[in-house]
Amino acid sequence: MNIIVCLKQVPDTETQIKVASDSKSIVTDDVKWVMNPYDEFGVEEALRLKEKFGGEVTVVGLGPKRVTESIRTALAMGADKGILISDDALEGSDSLAVAKALAAAIKELEYDLIFTGQRGVDDDLGIVGAACAELLGIPQMSIIVKVEVAEDGKTVKVTRPVEGENLVIESSLPALITTQKGLNEPRYASLPGIMKAKKKPLEEKTLSDLGLDAAGFGEGGRKMKIVELTPPPARAAGKIVEGETPQEKAAELAKLLHDEAKVI
């Protein structure tokens, strides 16, 4: 069973985000770049399926050279090979353009399953996976917490929590699955894993390698335009609830919630 994991590099969730002077991007100087946490679930699930069914796990990342580091992390966790799609013309591409480039690279590979994160914790969009599945003409199952591939490796059954219920969905393969927390606990890369990763194949591809015309990519190809980034809207300063004892504070809080906030 051959599995592809799409890997996005994002700022570590602890990173302070500052809007740059152009008001359209963020200051990236102090950003620590990491693998999107949802993609860690994808790598882990792919490795578990490989352990059961055999086959290969290929990690595909798109972005600047620094993405190599996150691909190496996935290789150290146990993935077999990496592909980095990197091209200056990709800078500033929107989700749809990223999906097109990923789909072009994936088309050349043999695969039964593709994992992507349910969303990147940078732009919080959650578009690339589904758009990629559409472009590849395969079904997608999003926001998945459980994956069971049939013994014959031909179909998959997944669990998808929706508001108030869990749906069990069955699909033929190949298919694309977007990962949600709860799917698994991603492993850490072991020291021997890290050593081995250095020797694993990591191929780099440009847009022209993929037979794509640079015109549809980058800032100019964006269909969703960023007009402006702003700091989050300020919340009105809160009140510290007064009182000598916890009982008094509780009484005061209940009163405020009823009289002032009118929520109880």
Ligand X SMILES: Nc1ncnc2c1ncn2[C@@H]1O[C@H](COP(=O)(O)O)[C@@H](O)[C@H]1O
Among 1, 109, 145, 210, the residue binding another protein under the rule CB under 8 A is 145
Using CB under 6 A as the binding rule, whether residue 13 contacts ligand FAD is answered as yes
Torsion region of 2: left, alpha or beta (phi above 0 gives left; psi -120 to 50 gives alpha): beta
- Binding partner of 130, given ligand FAD, ligand X, another protein, none, CB within 5-8 angstroms per partner class: another protein
With tokens 């620094």, the residue in question is 66
In the region spanning residues 63 to 102, those forming contacts with another protein, defined by CB under 8 A, are 94-96, 99
CA dist., res. 153 & res. 3, Å (int)? 12
Nearer to another protein, 192 or 238 (CB): 238
The set of residues, in sequence order, having a beta carbon less than 8 Å from that of 229 and lying 6+ positions away, is: 19, 20, 23, 24, 25, 26
- Using the rule CB under 6 A, give the single segment among 61-69, 143-151, 181-189, 199-207 that binds ligand X: 61-69
* C-beta of residue 158 within 8 angstroms of C-beta of residue 141: yes
CA dist., res. 210 & res. 147, Å (int)? 31
Which DSSP state fits 19? B
- Using the rule CB under 8 A, give the single segment among 67-75, 84-92, 199-207, 237-245 that binds another protein: 237-245
Among 18, 24, 37, 200, the residue binding ligand FAD under the rule CB under 6 A is 37
Nearest to 90 by CA among 205, 228, 13: 205
β-pair partners for 162: 165
Dihedral in degrees, nearest 10, Cα atoms 86, 89, 95, 101? -60
Torsion region of 247: left, alpha or beta (phi above 0 gives left; psi -120 to 50 gives alpha): alpha
CB of 58 to ligand X, least distance (A): 12
For the record, the structure tokens of 187 come out as: 């492993």
Q: How far is CA 167 from the centre of its chain?
A: 22
In the region spanning residues 188 to 227, those forming contacts with another protein, defined by CB under 8 A, are 222-227
Peptide bond preceding 174 in cis form (omega within 30 of 0): yes
Among 8, 100, 160, 205, the residue binding ligand X under the rule CB under 6 A is 8
CA dist., res. 247 & res. 261, Å (int)? 20
Among 20, 125, 150, 250, the residue binding ligand X under the rule CB under 6 A is 125
Among 70, 73, 86, 116, the residue binding ligand X under the rule CB under 6 A is 116
Using CB under 8 A as the binding rule, whether residue 244 contacts another protein is answered as no
In the region spanning residues 33 to 62, those forming contacts with another protein, defined by CB under 8 A, are 37-38
Residue nearest to ligand X (CB): 117
Using CB under 8 A as the binding rule, whether residue 246 contacts another protein is answered as yes
In the region spanning residues 81 to 110, those forming contacts with ligand X, defined by CB under 6 A, are 95, 98, 102
CB of 196 to ligand X, least distance (A): 23
The residues binding ligand X (CB under 6 A) are 6-8, 36, 38-39, 60-63, 95, 98, 102, 116-117, 119-120, 123, 125-129
